[in-house]
Structure 1
């Protein structure tokens, strides 16, 4: 084979690898769970894509917001909230703040779980997400 051709193929493969999102090992698809702070539990549904996640917070917040992948720190994927999709004080106050998603320690016989954490204007929130059937 031609050396130039092989060099071109190798370069293309390298560029394709570099263009892959850094969160490739993170959650993908539909996930849901509960976030908590103090005495408040709120259901959250999350749809993870290659470089973005869409979140829907249930009552009492009843709002939707998207976030873009920023980086990976240790085992956590870091996302930054965009402006709220449908308004609502809780989601509006999250704009430009970061949240992290990292794998929970595995437990034998239990499904994969991701830990989510972020700070709102008034509290620190943590929760667990489990994958939903497609």
Structure 2
């Protein structure tokens, strides 16, 4: 009896882990993506590299900074990434890490739509960007 219960428990745990892995794979893209957001009327280049459940996000001029994010789950149709501490660049990315999140949805035309929250003196500014796969 003990052996059967153990096998059932391990089988259930394995099935749950497999289902979680499949859900993560469907929500998290792989590889390098590029695009731009309009911030304060000016374009800001955004490059994102996804590997596993991590995202390395680089912002072009005038931000010129880099910040890492980790997959934090889904909210409605969006994959949510929680930002960590700015890796390089100081205050511009510190503003982004203070708000702590990036939401991402994918579209049928193989683009990713990002919404990034930036903390400002007046509250939170929402960046919108469409990314496409970077050339290999």
Gaps of 5+ in 2: none
Residue aligning to 1:87: 89
Work out the number of aligned pairs and report it. 127
Task: Please give the alpha-carbon distance, in whole angstroms, between the structure 2 residues aligned to 1:20 and 1:54.
Answer: 21
Task: Please give the alpha-carbon distance, in whole angstroms, between the structure 1 residues aligned to 2:65 and 2:113.
Answer: 20
Gaps of 5+ in 1: none
Task: Please give the alpha-carbon distance, in whole angstroms, between the structure 1 residues aligned to 2:54 and 2:22.
Answer: 10
Task: Note if 1:17 corresponds to 2:18.
Answer: yes
Alpha-carbon spacing, 1:90–1:23, altered in 2? closer, same or farther (3 Å) = farther
RMSD (Å), alpha carbons = 2.4
Report runs of 4+ in structure 1 exceeding 6 Å deviation: none
Deviates more, 1:61-70 or 1:17-26: 17-26
Which TM-score applies when normalising by structure 1? 0.80
Which TM-score applies when normalising by structure 2? 0.79
Displacement of 1:22 in angstroms is: 4.1
Question: CA contact under 8 A between 2:63 and 2:89: conserved in structure 1?
Answer: no
Of the two structures, which has the highest relative contact order with CA contacts closer than 8 Å and spacing of 6 or more? 1
